[in-house]
Homo-oligomer: A and B are copies of this chain.
Amino acid sequence: MAEFELIDAIARRVRRRRDVAVGIGDDAALLNPPPGYQLAITQDTLNESVHFRSGDDPEAIGCKAAAVNLSDLAAMAAEPAWCTLSLALPDADRPWLDAFLDGFTGLLAEHDVALVGGDTTRGPCSISVTLLGLVPEGQGLRRDAGKVGDDLWVTGSLGDAAAGLAGMGSGDQANYLRGRLLRPQPRIAAGLALRRHARACIDVSDGLLADLGHVLRASGVGAELWLSALPASPALQACTEREQRWQLQCAGGDDYELLFSAAPVDRVAIERLVQASGTPVARIGRLVDTPGCLISDPDGQRWQPSDLGYQHFQTT
């Protein structure tokens, strides 16, 4: 398979959008952003042996490469629009490529994203995706907009992906947990529903406490977190004791849920809007004056996890 054949295989699967003036096949793509919108842009890369293993299902790798970027746009309340893909492969393995593209372009198509460019190179398997989205001016959700007194919310359930990574459960439960790890569902609809209601927002990729920490530092506030309110899937509940479950929910990564703050006056609107978007939400705490994060167990006792989430290049 020559490079141009590889590009053709990609180009054939591309969704069309009317705002793409020039797509794949020129030095750069030319796009027509609508007036009155801001551009949201994110780039996330998955590397073999770090983010996935060489034997993993290529369709799931493709799906995840799209999902982690879509999740970043969801957290900004941006509507996905266009993306580029840089694909490094050690050799041109057509069945692998086809399955990868099925997963990648399949999830992008669900969110009406057009693949408009990128490149293909030889190298250790690496997938770098840049995703662009649109958000009406001033309606993007940032990490630094949390205020003392805000409710703290999270979509979906927490800890499933970490449990899936640890190989927990058996049968259908194990499949569910593993599926949450391999095929995360980016919370685009929930993010859009939160425009004009949420204040701070972030996606939970490094783990609840790690990502909450980003919001707290950026917003200059602290938080109270209630373990009894953390949402857990039936599968996670079935295969964990509560201490272990809390650990997974607080420090497990790869959930790709949205963590956000909102004024208490918006409580009813948020439950209505986000649930209308098909996404469960749970109120899990609140933002306070005192710096740091105070975690309470169901008896009102302070609790601390033994591990605080994932960092690349961590030295400790």
Within 8 A of B (CB), among A20-77: 21-22, 25-33, 35, 38-45, 47-51, 71-73, 75-76
- The answer to whether A78 has its CB under 8 Å from any CB of chain B is yes
- The answer to whether A163 has its CB under 8 Å from any CB of chain B is no
Within 8 A of B (CB), among A179-228: 201-203, 218
Choose from B85, B89, B117 the contact partner of A42 (Cβ within 8 Å).
B117
Q: Verify A43–B123 contact, CB threshold 8 A.
A: no
Q: Verify A142–B22 contact, CB threshold 8 A.
A: yes
User: Among the interface residues A22, A43, A71, which one has the most CB atoms of the partner chain B within 10 A?
Assistant: A43
What's the interface size class on A, roughly? Answer: 35 or more
Choose from B42, B76, B313 the contact partner of A3 (Cβ within 8 Å).
B313
Q: Verify A313–B30 contact, CB threshold 8 A.
A: no
Q: Verify A39–B33 contact, CB threshold 8 A.
A: yes
* Stretch from A132-140, A269-277, A292-300 at the B interface: A132-140
Given A27-B202, A41-B82, A47-B122, 7 additional A-B pairs, CB 8 A: A3-B314, A5-B313, A28-B42, A28-B75, A30-B140, A91-B313, A121-B312
Chain A to chain B contacts (Cβ below 8 Å), 8 pairs: A6-B312, A26-B76, A30-B38, A43-B117, A43-B130, A47-B126, A126-B126, A130-B130
Which 6 A-B pairs give the minimum distances between C-beta atoms?
A47-B123, A128-B128, A130-B130, A28-B42, A27-B75, A43-B84
Interface set of A (CB-CB < 8 Å, partner B):
1-6, 21-22, 25-33, 35, 38-45, 47-51, 71-73, 75-76, 78, 82, 84-86, 88-89, 91-92, 116-124, 126, 128, 130, 132-133, 135, 137, 140, 142-144, 201-203, 218, 311-316
